Every structure is written in C-alpha cells, then in structure tokens.
Structure 1
C-alpha cells in the first residue's frame, strides 16, 4: 500500500510491481478490476480440515476472480486452482539488519595492507641510499647537483607522492633509477586512490553470516520465515538434511523465528540485529532497496516462479497467459522489474564476508616492487659502468698529460744545451787567436783583438 493509503480510495491505495502488471494486463485484455487485501493476510495453506486459507481460500470460495500477488506455483496448489504462465522467476533469500559500520580516524590507511606500508617505507630508505651511493661513485659534472643523504631522501619521498623537487638526477644511472621510481609511484598512487575511493564510499562491516547454511553453525542469530507460506513448506518438506535441521530449529516455539506475514518478519529484523528472515527473493530485494537499514545476505536459492491464480477451469486463464507472454516479449515486464528492483536511494554496501580484508596486499601489487627492484639493479649496473668509464677516461687524460709534460721537458733541455755551446765559441776563438799571436810575436806583451 501507499504511505498515504488512508486518504485514498479503491485501487489508488495500492502500488507495486503486481499492481503495475495488473494494470498492463487489464489494458491489453480490456477488463476492469477492483483490488482488495485478503482478511487473514496469508498467501494460502491447506488446513487440517481440508480447507484453504489466504489467497487460495478466497479463490476457492469465489470471493475473487483472480489473485495477482507473489504467489508461488506448486503442485499442491495446482490440485485446487489454476495458474497462468509464470511472470517472474525467483529464489529464496535472507535479510538481516545491517551491522554497525566500522569507522576510524586512520581509515585512509585501509586501502593498503600493513605489509605494503612497511615495504613502501623500505623503498624510501633503499632508493635514497642508492641515489646517495651513486652520487659518490659517479657524480654529475655540474657541482651544484649533488645527492647527499638529505637531498636523496627528499627527492625519493617527493617522487613517491607524485611531487617535484628543485634538483633532478643528471647522470644516466640516476635517471634510470628515477624513471623506475616514477613508474613505481604511478602504479602505487593509482591503486591507492582507487581503493581509497571504494573504502570511503562503500560501507564496510563484518558478519559471521554470509549464506543460509552458515545459520546452522552458530547459535547467536535466530531465523525464521512466514508460517503457512511456500518457503515454510520448502523447509518442512525438504529432503536435504541441513534444511530439515533448519526447519526443526525455526519451527520450535522457543526460537520465536516464525512470522505471520512478511511485514511482521521485516519488523522482527528491524527490532533485532541477531535475527534473519527467510522469504521470497523479490519481496526481500524490494525491502532492501527501500529500507537502507537492512541487507540481503547470500545468494537466492531454490528457483521458483510466480503466477496469477484463477479458479480451476477458468476460461480467461489462457488470455492471462498470452498477455503475460506478450508483455515479456515487448520488454514491459523487464521495465517494471527495473522500476521496482533496480532503483534504490541507499548507498552501496559490501557483502558481509568474514575474515577477509579488501586492502591491497603484496600479492596484488608485488609486480611493481619487482619492476622497481629491476630498475634499481639496472641503475646500479649503469652506475658501475659510468664509474668505470669515468675512471678510464681520467687515466687516459692523465697519461696524455704526462706524455705532453715529458715532451715539453725534453725540448727545453735541448734548447738550453744549444745555448751553452753558442756561448762557448768566442772563448775558443779568443784562445786560438791568443795562441797564434804568441807564436808569431814572442816578445810582444799586448795582443790586439779586432
């Protein structure tokens, strides 16, 4: 019913998928209808005296011409009434109250696991030391570009948070290491940002119940379904041992799990966080989309179908079936399902998966650490080669300088020796002239030099 149904009359008081479907069928077949709710609020179950309750009883008592409701088709009901072609296939689902979300002042750390955070700290130290060591081994030609311990740490941290610094590596080895670090930082920052957005927009909580079978392995959460419903018949008549055990538990008076109708079941869910209500998946999913305080748990099971119930042998059953088939072919039923089950104002939530973290672990981002390690190894190899090349070039320059100095020293010695010989020649001529004069004029005491 609509929220303001008290102020409305007739068919205007009701809304929902079944009402829209009935309206489409009535327009296609050209008939008028009047809707009312069965007095006992039940779908229909066979009583011990052979009579039927709920919707089935209204059909058998000729109180209604048809029943358009979430009425499951089964063999027992088919023995007393007829059904149209199925208009929706569904399963049995479970709904619980949402646990309280886990919030923290340090929720920004959740996108990465503690192991990854520790590895990032190790990367900061290792890469900083590598920059510093390569600067000592193979420094840049520009003396103003030096990567000491402080500058190396600052450059590494700035690169990891996708920022910049005034000084950048100038050597080949430094640029190789910086490129590896930048690629590593790009992947880590992108993964962190995407995961952080998911953590901040999706409510996170944990629960020990993630499927219907988990209800058997605990005693804290009670559960139940609607009495005399098809879901109750499924558990009561199931041949599976686990479902038989569940029926024994939920049907006992002390469990208090059974509800008279779906509305009462949802009220029990709202009142008790340790109660699970099992019912038709479409009904539960509609409740989840309209009530943000509850959550569908697990996947639907035991596929079944809804159909329109009519008196046995009714001539208009085939017309209803043809109308349902045509509406399905035209896509109108899919549009109605999208209207009532796909539109929700509730924020997205993650399914309650116990003992599992959504943080990025080393198994998911280990590849970028390997790439960074390869980059460090390549840059170290380039640094060693650069150091060897620089050392060899210095030796060659030193050898050439020594040869040049030796050559210059030899030329100077030869020039000095030639000068001495040139300076000694006048003395020789003087001595020769003196000797000649002495021989020619033995008595002469003076020698004239011209």
Structure 2
C-alpha cells in the first residue's frame, strides 16, 4: 500500500500490533488494517509525503542480539531498508540507546489475559446476608454486657435478716449472675430467633433487650428477602489476578519474542516473578505467531502476556462474533506503562516534523477516537466478571443449596452424637452403681467377729478354747 505525492516516498516497516495495525496476506501485497493506517494517512497528507509499506518476513518488532545487532523491523530500519517504523512500538531502554522515538502515540501497560473462568455455585451463599450484621451483633453484645455489668455493680443484692434463711426464689432473684454468659445468650439467641430461658434483670437491661428484639426482627426479615439473591449470585475463582499469582500458577504463557515483557523478564533477577513467568513461556523458541497465540489463549491452553490494548481488541473481536466474553485480563500490570512511539534512526530529520503533527492529533483526541473505534464492543468484557451480564437471569440449581444441606446434615450429626453420648453415659452410670453396692455389701460381710452357722448357731472366733 502506498500514498503517492510529489515528494519522495518513505518506506515504512510494519508488523502486527493489535489493535493499532493488523497485517495479513502475502509480504509483497499485504492487507493492512487497524487504527494506525488512518493516522498515517493524516500525518503524511499533512506533511506532503508519499509512503509505502515494507513487511519484514518475521513481522516481529525485533530484539538486540549479544553481538549488538537487531532483528525484525528494527534491524531492517538500522540496516537502511526502511526510513521509519510504520507502527508505534514500545520505547524500551535498549531501543532508546540505538534509535530515536517520536512523541508518544499512546501510553499502554503490559498485562496478562486468560480464558474466562466458569461461574460456580457458592455453597456459602446462605451466610453472606449475615456478613454485614457481624459488627451490629458485636456492638449489641458489648453494650448489653456493659449495661448488665453496670447494673450488677450498682444494685447490690440484699442480705437476709439474722435468723432468716434465704428462700430459693430469693437466691435466684438476688444471686450473682454470669454477666458474660447471659449477655451472649440474650444477644445471639434473640438474633437467631431462639427462646431464652432467663428473663433479663432490671429495667435497663430489659429495655436494651427489647430494642434488640425489634432490631433482630427487622434484620432477619431483610435476611430472608436477600437470601435468594445471595444464593443465585455465582462464585468466581480467578486462576490469577496479579504478577505473583501468575508466576505461582505455573500456567504456560505466550510472550512475544522481543517485546517489552520479554526484555523486562530477561533483565529481572532469577527469583523474581517476571523471570518465573518467562521460564514458563511456550513461545520464545518459535517464531511469533499471533493467531496461534490468540486461539490457544481462548482455548485455555496458555495465558497471553500482551499490551492491554491488544487484549481489549481480542475481547472486542470475540464478543462481536459470539456475543460472549471469552477472556478476562488481570487487574495489575506486568511491566507497567510503556510509551508507544514511531521509531527512527538517530538524527533523522523527520522527527521534528512528525512530533508536531502527532502532538496535535493526540491533544485533539483523534488518536483516541481511532483507537476506540477498533475496540467498541469490548465494553461489556472490560467490566468486572461478577457484574457481567447482570440482566441475565440464572435459575437456582442443586449446587446452590449444598451449603444449606451441609448445615442441616451437620446439625443432625451433632444431635445424633449427643444422643449416643447420653446413652453411653447412662449405661455406664447404671453399671457403676450396682457394682458399688455389691462391693459395699461384700466388705461388710467379710469382717465380722462371728461366723454364722446353720440352725441359728454362731461361732465366736475370738473365744479361746
């Protein structure tokens, strides 16, 4: 592809960098798409240059070899095969030393994407409505304990008069209560709608307990209304959501050779997370194959390390075709923000001319406008996974009730164990009581001074003949 004018034509080295430039077809007649061709048309129409695309066979950005030479598009640029890169590339430290970069087109960060995890039933969903009540219960428990303790401290029990014995009712009414036990009983039992055997002592404690009765009624009513919603809400387990989690997961990763991620991993300490991710890479020993990397990422065979813009474009494409979000991207960055610029040879006279136009395109929002046109359908997939498809109804299945079933089975098992323990203790007690009676009788009969004889006769063993 070329744009003809009266000025000499510039040769632009190109390669695939989603969504800015998408190169397909043969090298001698490439098909170029994305947002960058539109930007290049604007730039060179304004400057009055014609240009033509030159496809480097590997279609890779290029890396610096130990002997100081470069491969890919950058190597072609330094050898004089092209005048500049036609696609913005990350301006790393090595590239900055050997090349000049224009004003940045975009600022992008490197992240990792993976197949969207399957939604699972949350067996703990029936507990979630109580999650917001813990502080309330603790606050009421502390308040009740404080009020109860203050009352027992201020109001001392009356002592019976001399010569009078305290009746059981007086002891029950004026005895020293266990403040902590009763406070916990009145707070937790009332909240769980269980009967309380003891009446709160004193008006202050009764008022506090009465207010808590009313509040518990309201809270439990809200719980019942929210229970179904919490059961329907699915559980999502992400394979990784940070650099450390990706390194520990040992999931194979697709890392484009010569990319900013590749360079950062090579320069990282051996025990760092980036170095471990690079060890798990399955793409560094083979030529860069973008379609293969994307298809295996969607299939869940490996994770894809890529600029966020590229992952966003893949989300846009898959959602446009299937109506589903097949990928998710982790919330953290692997490398951080990198500057995407057009690269030129050192001292190129084109740099000030390009900077002037690029700066105005960026400030007027034209660059962002062309980029967003390429990823318009990725909006739904960029939402948090739990909030995607909130309008879609999901019916309850058996897995949603596993938590309730486990709670019921656990209660039934505890009741059975308690019943069996009662039987064992009762039988043990009954077996111990007869044995003690027999031993007592045997001890009494084994030490008499007379031995009983038939016909009411007895022999005095202590009498000497």
Please report the TM-score for the alignment, with normalisation by the length of structure 2. Answer: 0.51
The more displaced of 77-86 and 90-99 is 77-86
Within 5 Å, which residues of 2 pair with 1:16-165? 16-102=34-120, 113=128, 115=130
Instruction: Provide the residue aligned with 1:298 in structure 2.
Output: 331
Contact 1:226 1:265 in 2 (8 A): no
Q: Relative to 1, partners in 2 of residues 1:294 and 1:111: Cα closer, same or farther, differing over 3 Å?
A: farther
Paired with 1:124 and 1:23, the residues of 2 have a C-alpha distance of 70
Instruction: Provide the residue aligned with 1:335 in structure 2.
Output: 369
Paired with 1:212 and 1:68, the residues of 2 have a C-alpha distance of 32
The more displaced of 241-250 and 47-56 is 241-250
Q: Relative to 1, partners in 2 of residues 1:250 and 1:208: Cα closer, same or farther, differing over 3 Å?
A: closer
* Per-residue deviation, 1:256: 6.3
Q: Which has the larger radius of gyration?
A: 1
Contact 1:250 1:257 in 2 (8 A): no
Instruction: Provide the residue aligned with 1:249 in structure 2.
Output: 279
Paired with 2:361 and 2:379, the residues of 1 have a C-alpha distance of 28
Paired with 2:384 and 2:24, the residues of 1 have a C-alpha distance of 35
| Aligned pairs, number | 294
* Per-residue deviation, 1:96: 1.0
Paired with 1:14 and 1:268, the residues of 2 have a C-alpha distance of 24
Within 5 Å, which residues of 2 pair with 1:250-289? 250=280, 260-261=287-288, 262-273=290-301, 275-289=302-316
**For structure 2, which runs of at least 5 residues remain unmatched after alignment?**
1-15, 135-188, 196-210, 319-324, 387-465
- What SS does the corresponding residue of 1:321 show, helix, strand or coil? helix
Q: Relative to 1, partners in 2 of residues 1:65 and 1:195: Cα closer, same or farther, differing over 3 Å?
A: farther
Paired with 1:111 and 1:322, the residues of 2 have a C-alpha distance of 61
Paired with 2:296 and 2:241, the residues of 1 have a C-alpha distance of 19
* Per-residue deviation, 1:87: 1.2
CA RMSD of aligned residues (A): 4.6
Instruction: Provide the residue aligned with 1:171 in structure 2.
Output: none
Larger helix fraction of residues: 1
What per-residue deviation string (whole Å, max 9, x for no partner) do you get for residues 280-328 of structure 1?
Answer: 2222222233233222123224221110012322211111111111112
What per-residue deviation string (whole Å, max 9, x for no partner) do you get for residues 8-62 of structure 1?
Answer: x968x32213223223323332333223432112101123444321110221232
Contact 2:328 2:381 in 1 (8 A): no
Q: Which of 1 and 2 has higher RCO (CA within 8 Å, sep 6+)? A: 1
- What SS does the corresponding residue of 2:52 show, helix, strand or coil? coil
What per-residue deviation string (whole Å, max 9, x for no partner) do you get for residues 180-203 of structure 1?
Answer: 899869976997798799x4xxx8
* Per-residue deviation, 1:258: 6.0
Larger strand fraction of residues: 2
**1:317 maps to 2:351:** yes
**For structure 1, which runs of at least 5 residues remain unmatched after alignment?**
130-175, 353-450
- What SS does the corresponding residue of 1:59 show, helix, strand or coil? helix
